Amino acid sequence: MERITTEQAFIDALAEQAGGYFSIPSKESMEYTELLFDICRQFGIRYYSASSKERGFVEEVTRVTWAKQREAEAGIKLDIRPAFSA
């Protein structure tokens, strides 16, 4: 049987108060989030108070921009569906 330390019990209590555990975001996740907020600034959109239409717009521009950046870094042509194409 595993013995729970005082530190583990303290962390469990904090996690329960916060509504569960979390993990530290990856470097790639942080870079994507920075790109999203850079695009928001570029278009003058405040993400957390944006309408669903504005959010959808910046999320799609971010998705395509991110994919194009990965394509350029890898030097491999990817099948990137342009934002808002029919």
Q: pLDDT tens digits, residue range 29-46?
A: 999 999 999 999 999 999
Residue 68: inside a domain, yes or no?
Answer: yes
Domain range enclosing 30: 24-86
Q: What does the pLDDT look like over 11-20, one tens digit per residue?
A: 788 878 877 7
Record the pTM: 0.68
Residue 65: inside a domain, yes or no?
Answer: yes
Alpha helix (H) residue ranges in the chain: 6-18, 27-43, 52-74
Under a CB-based contact definition with an 8 Å cutoff, are residues 34 and 62 in contact? Answer: no
Residue 7: inside a domain, yes or no?
Answer: no
Confidence of residue 5 (pLDDT cuts 50, 70, 90): confident
Residue 72: inside a domain, yes or no?
Answer: yes
Residue 79 clears pLDDT 90, i.e. is over it? no
* pLDDT value of residue 21: 66
Residue 78: inside a domain, yes or no?
Answer: yes
Under a CB-based contact definition with an 8 Å cutoff, are residues 47 and 40 in contact? Answer: yes
Residue 44: inside a domain, yes or no?
Answer: yes
State the total domains in the chain: 1
Residue 1: inside a domain, yes or no?
Answer: no
